[in-house]
Structure 1
Amino acid sequence: MTIANSAANSIKPRQLLLDMYQAAVDAVSATKCLPEYLARIPAPSGKGRTLVIGAGKGAAAMAKAVEDHWQGDISGLVVTRYAHGADCKRIEVVEASHPVPDEAGRKAAARMLELVQGLTADDLVLCLISGGGSALLALPAPGISLEQKQAINKALLRSGANIFEMNCVRKHLSAIKGGRLALACAPARVVTLMISDIPGDDPGIIASGPTLADPTTCADALAVLRKYNIETPEAILKHLESGAGETAKPGDPRLERNQHYVIATAQDALDAAAATVVAAGLTPYILSDEMEGEARDIGLAHAALARQIARRGQPFSKPCVVISGGETTVTVRGKGRGGRNAEFLLSLATALDGFPDIHAIACDTDGIDGSEDNAGAIYQPDSMRKAAELGLRPRAMLDNNDGYGFFSALGDLVVSGPTRTNVNDFRAILIL
């Protein structure tokens, strides 16, 4: 018996998959990632003060890390998702709605703009940004109502548009995104610390780049709305067609003193999960940290790869674990309780159809799959047999976008609660 096969025989598949997910989340937590970057930032001199602002699912945890590690006086305001708060003493934490914005987010964004008025060149603004900030900083541009932005946001979420397309639209309908928050801070120095939920980690896309220059245009935003046939109110059409929604552009002198750091990425999470696999005596293979596309299509591709490994030993030899990250999309056609990770996993399950010795997990690193209460789910070789015994119809449930319902019935949802970080999807397939 080889060493690898001996290790495989001692593996507890479900526990290993859960341990990998936990390692991935822990690796990108604000507590772990943020302090070393704070040490690089010079404090204001003389009469300057430090103001902390921010938005995202990880914003409160990031604010707490700043309070714990920043040397000097601080104050400020961050906005995070409901139930994602932290026990901050000097930085106010406001909770608001995600993924569809609400009035609490609008008020918080307006207050943030007011808070940065009147800063001087001696002042420092620490801006803490993580995934989810686009919806949480919901301040519509003049002439556009919150209700109109909510409707556009809902339509984009259901359309299958990717995060780059959605955030392009969001930037050009906003009074705070697309660099506008940084312009409002000028002439203060702005240092932005970001946890990336964007495939490829483009800092200008994370939370729609409230403090970074934006090369996209109103015409680009219009093209996205037309591509997906999004019903668009006249006020928004006028706003975009007139160019009134243009964002802060590269080369703007008001931004030249500013700095930004991406402090945690999907690759960091995947590397930590891979280390867990190695510690278990198996071989990990990271496919990519920036996979995109329809969740069900990605599920089919992963199932084909897993079968090829199991049957042919190609392109990897079993036992092994295949890991991937990124952000899939779901074009909603049914009425089920979905989530893109549950959709990916249900697609994989129907394709594998009980194929032996293949186990899988798919979870969002923020602990919330879509808008549900689970992070994702686990698939096991006997999942389809159990489903049949319960009278479930997996393919029909996939057509109804009801991955949540399927794995809930099996007792295989992963419920972690909010992790207060976010580098998007985590997927792992164990082939024994």
Structure 2
Amino acid sequence: MNPYRLKRPALALAGALACAPSMAAPEIVGYYPGWKSDAFPVTAANVGAGKLTMALYAFVDVCWDGKHGNADPTVNDVAPCQDAAGDAASANGALVFRDAASDGANLRALVALKRRHPGFKVVVSVGGWNWSNRFSNVADAPAARAAFIASAVKTMRRHGLDGIDIDWEYPGEAGVPCVAGEVCARPADKRNFITLARELRAAFDAAGREDRKHYSITIAAGGNANYVNDGGAASGWLRELASSLDWINIMAYDYHMPWEPRSGHHAALYGDARDPVTADGFYAAGSVRRYLQAGVAARQLVLGVPFYGYGWKGCPPGADGDGQYQACDGGATGGVDGGNSYGYGHLLKQGYLTPAGEGGGGYRRYWNAAARAPYLYDAAQQVWITYEDPASLKEKAAYIKAQGLRGAMFWELSADGGHQLLNALSSAMRR
């Protein structure tokens, strides 16, 4: 498949092309949250493999000093390392599971879905927001990179997987700060990421020749300028990194968060002049433009979309009576588990949205034509909610096809409401 790789022997390239997925079909990539498997088990009905090209299993971690997890106990606990067999793992950089029995069962169930859906791939995603704190150490040390790569190949073969997704949040500036005495970010992170990806690509190609299949490498990447640039205004590192990747999943969401003082769309497709972040290109199309300007090919870009939303409380109606772009009192408390996150399924279950997509339970649905984004507002409760719906997904699918992007990715399967969002996305992408 990969036209982005440099100088390979003709026979090896031909083999990779034969094993790789078709370039013509759009990717529809969805995360499966492994830690939710008790309430949201891997079943054909829950996953909808026929509408996906790939499931990213979230998450596996890396081992360091015999432990994994985040050293900050307010984020999550540190636990002994377990490899894919449930045995103790000790090599710094090796892939490890949260719970080998549960994760292994989930992966077997996902892989079993491939029998009925040959176009469906299963990939493990390493890291995530909570578990990115060791990537800097792994990428910086040759021995740790080697352990990471060897365990990745072993894990793929053991479980019949199709690749690996690296969700490093973020090289050069860790999203979850380190505790005293720990290192989780370095100025050299982005250069080291290039080295890790290059070595991983070589190992995956070698394994693929032996196994007669293509093993993919994808990453989840930030949509802001800090991620795209590597100090100053340089962005050439992304082009180098992309030469070892199948594609990049741009996390084109969380442009506004409920701890901000004003309500705002967290996944606007286009900029709205009334939104202050528009000037910085902080919206989905602006993020894509950054990557294209950095030299990454459109066919290596997958646009991320959220199957969840956020809510603010204490938002006055404002001049338009809709609570949009208003000074609020912080995050709402009517979301999932009493928080400020509003999965689409939660909106339906609580009656804030009707099955027809209209507002309910005191909420009215609005549409921002500039941003191509829906929102809900309850004037009596003064709660404002930003979210994604079938209409906004159709707009994004049209944008993806018009720009020649590789496809769409979403976070995550359990947040959908009866596959309404997945059905809308799949239909729009494949039309």
TM-score (normalizing by structure 1): 0.30
Q: Point out the structure with the larger helix share.
A: 1
TM-score (normalizing by structure 2): 0.30
RCO higher in 1 or 2 (8 Å CA, sep ≥ 6)? 1
Larger radius of gyration: 1
